[in-house]
Amino acid sequence: MKLTEQQLKDFDKDGYAFFPGMFTPEEAALLNAEAKNVYASDRKEVWREASGVARTAFAAHTYNETFRRLGSHPRLIEPVEQLLNGPVYMHQFKVNAKAAFDGDVWQWHQDYGTWKRDDEMPEPRAMNIAVFIDDVTAANGPLLFIPGSHKQGVVEAGHDLATTSYPLWTLDRAKVTELAEQGGCVAPTGPAGSMLVFSSLLVHASPANISPFDRTIAYLSLCHVDNHIRAFNREEWIAHRDFTPITALDDDCLCELVDQQAAVAG
């Protein structure tokens, strides 16, 4: 999958691109079932909210076949290779939960700010790409973006170790207000199977989910292989140390698993 010239221009201006319904309902249902399996496991990679519900599952592509395939899916890998002008490796893989009623906030931040400070990634030659595993609505804690904020470079941030179960380098209210006065604030919503690609410098957040509907999103953080991290301060399953370029699988790699499961059930 390649981005068009107009999509590239819009990405340069806004810092993100949105593709509703990129994956079929059947592919999304497979990802949803596997996310529930991962969250139910007793693994150190699965972090939980104070309430006990899952917050995020790191590195699911290393222990789950469905997410392994998602991590090499051409609909995800090829646009990022295009944007970064070359091969990419997996810096981080997360399946983020926003459980109904109990999904907690993700504070305002830039992902590259964390990768620079904690992992010594040299440059922001990295992208996030996300797949909606549930329908994402205005009610269940959607991602919030400040369009154009990726043009600001690395913004000053403080290390928040208290707000949630996950430490994060976060922006203060004054800076977020200043950026939003320039670029506004948007919340891309769409059905399960929709896809987002966004700059690692884009300022973003998501509110708590107090709705009765889950909101689960899989994230690939992909980095140009020449720009790999230099410090290994965090666990390997949080900041990966395998800098091997990803080779994209066939476009039907998830459909094969859907068909296999249907054959077993039938």
Written as one string, the DSSP assignment of 155-200 is: PP-EEE-SSSSS-EEE--HHHHHHHHHHH--B---B-TT-EEEEET
Range of the domain at 188: 5-265
- Provide the sign of the torsion angle of the four alpha carbons 95, 101, 104, 106, taken in this order: positive
DSSP secondary structure string for all residues of 164-175: SSS-EEE--HHH
What does the alpha-carbon distance between residue 227 and residue 89 come to, in Å, rounded to a whole number?
10
Domain of residue 224, CATH code = 2.60.120.620
Confidence of residue 229 (pLDDT cuts 50, 70, 90): very high
Closest Cα to residue 187, out of 43, 5, 18, 65?
18
Look at 163-177, 181-195, 224-238 and tell me which has the smallest mean pLDDT.
163-177
Mean pLDDT of 144-159: 91
Mean pLDDT of 159-172: 71
Work out the number of other CB atoms within 10 angstroms of the CB of residue 68: 15
Give me the pLDDT at residue 266, please.
Answer: 66
Residue 43 has pLDDT above 90, yes or no: yes
Question: At which residue do the structure tokens 């076949």 appear?
Answer: 65
Give me the number of domains the chain comprises: 1
Contact predicate 240/232, CB 8 Å: no
Report yes or no: 140 and 134 within 8 Å, Cβ to Cβ: yes
The structure tokens listed for 111 are: 């992902």
